Structure 1
Amino acid sequence: MVIDSSTTRNGLATTGMSGSLTERIVTIVSEEGGQSVDELKPLYNAIDPDALESLFAPRGDGSSRPDGKISFQYAGYWVTVSSDGAVEVEAEDR
C-alpha cells in the first residue's frame, strides 16, 4: 500500500493524511494490520522518529529535500518513506 495525496483506498481517493510523518506511518500500519494504534509497539523501537522527521523536513529556506527514501521494518511490515511524502507499506513475509 502506498499513501500519498493521489492514492486511492477501496476506490475512494484520499486527500492526503494530516499529522506528522511518524503519526501517518503508525496510522497506516495499524489500518493495514487491522489493529488499533494502541496495540502497536512504539515506532521508536524500529527507528528514531525525530531523525525520520528531520530527514524529510523542508530545508531552512522552505525548499524541499532532494529525492530520497528510507526503508525500515516496523510491526511486521517494510515501511518505505520517500522525500515526496509517500509512505509505502508491504508485509514482511512477502
Structure 2
Amino acid sequence: MTRSGISQPDDTVTYDPEADAYYAEHDWDRNASLSVTLVAALAEVSDSDPTDMDPLDSYVDPDALDDLFRPHPGIRRANVGRLELAVAGYRVTVYPDGEIVVRP
C-alpha cells in the first residue's frame, strides 16, 4: 500500500485522479537501481520509450540518487525525508521507502 492508499503490483504505475499524481514503488530486493525504476516510471507516465527521453543525469546524478536511499546491511532504514526534483516537466518526489510520486 502506498501513501496514496492504492495497492499496486510490482512494476506498475498507478494514477490517482484525486491527487493528480502517478505512483510507483521501487523493489529494493530486485537488481534494478532506484534510478532505473524512476526512469521506467517516467517513461510509463509520459508514454515514451526510455531511450527517447532526456538522460536522467540531465536532472540528477543517478548514482547519488541510488546511494541516497539505498539500504545498508545492518543499518535500520529511517523512513524520513524525501527528494523532490523536476524531471522533463514533471514534479517528482522520491521517498526512502522506494515510493516514487510523479505529478504533471
TM-score (norm. length: structure 1): 0.76
Q: Which residue, out of 87, 90, 93, partners 1:80?
A: 93
Shift of 1:43: 0.4
CA RMSD of aligned residues (A): 2.2
Query: Where do 5+ consecutive residues of structure 2 fail to align?
Result: 12-26
Distance in 1, matches of 2:10 and 2:90, equals 24
Task: Output one character per residue of 1:4-56: Cα deviation in whole Å (capped at 9) or x when no partner.
Answer: 8x745xxxx31355521000100001100011111111100100111111110
Distance in 2, matches of 1:44 and 1:65, equals 26
Query: Where do 5+ consecutive residues of structure 1 fail to align?
Result: none
User: Partner of 1:24 in structure 2?
Assistant: 37
Distance in 1, matches of 2:95 and 2:59, equals 17
User: Partner of 2:60 in structure 1?
Assistant: 47
Shift of 1:75: 1.3
Distance in 1, matches of 2:49 and 2:78, equals 32
Task: Output one character per residue of 1:48-68: Cα deviation in whole Å (capped at 9) or x when no partner.
Answer: 111111110123524213411
Distance in 2, matches of 1:7 and 1:38, equals 29
CA contact (8 A) 1:73 1:79 kept: yes
Identity %: 29
TM-score (norm. length: structure 2): 0.69
Distance in 1, matches of 2:10 and 2:51, equals 25
What amino acid sits opposite 1:38 in the alignment?
A: T
Matched, 1:14 2:9: yes
Query: Per the alignment, in what secondary structure is the counterpart of residue 89 of structure 1?
Result: strand
